[in-house]
Amino acid sequence: MIILGVDPGTLFCGYGIIELKKTTPLYINSGVINLTKEKELPQKLKIIYDKIEELIQDYSPNEFAIETAFYGKNIQSAMKIGYARGVALLAAVHSDLHITEYSPREVKKAVVGTGAASKEQIQYMVSSFLKIQTDKKKFDETDALAIALCHAFRFKSVAQKNVSWKSFVEAFPERIIG
């Protein structure tokens, strides 16, 4: 299973692609969509959409995981992140990917073990799990990989616990079309 994780933003939008082989997550690719040179928000959103769509075409992920919006003090920032999330989600929907959203605390807890983990702790654990160097990667990139890992760990734990279709359906009711 190939998972595309996205850490949305309108200055830097991180992405991480991993493959879950049996129970082992493997690094495929990651990066940051740098939007700092663009002045207009609509152009930034187009770039995010186009890049996510390109990644989907190039890597054919089965799953799309994205961080949910968080509520900060600055409503304008929250709205801009919401726009970035929206175009990334739209690219995934247009490609018929299964989408799962995770809160920042959920991702931190899955990857580090505590929902109050720092960016540095996330970066260290991503490096450890995927056996890659992360010291030269931006936090947006390692956060996106952490989102993909969080999703992989969810599948891994369900796969170990559940061996029947009934238990799969109970674990993932949102995947039932009917």
Among 63, 67, 141, 143, which one carries the catalytic annotation? 67
Tokens of 89: 């989600």
7 is catalytic: yes
Give the architecture-level CATH label for domain 2-175.
Answer: 2-Layer Sandwich (3.30)
Residue pair 87/57 in contact by the 8 Å Cβ criterion: no
- CA separation for the pair 126, 144 (Å, rounded): 10
Return the number of other C-beta atoms located less than 10 Å from residue 129's C-beta.
19
For 120-172, how does the pLDDT look when each residue is reduced to its tens digit (9 = 90+)? 999 999 999 999 998 889 999 999 999 999 999 987 654 455 455 666 677 66
The overall pTM is greater than 0.85 = yes
67 is catalytic: yes
What are the boundaries of each domain within the chain?
2-175
Among 19, 54, 140, 143, which one carries the catalytic annotation? 140
Among 7, 63, 141, 143, which one carries the catalytic annotation? 7
120 is catalytic: no
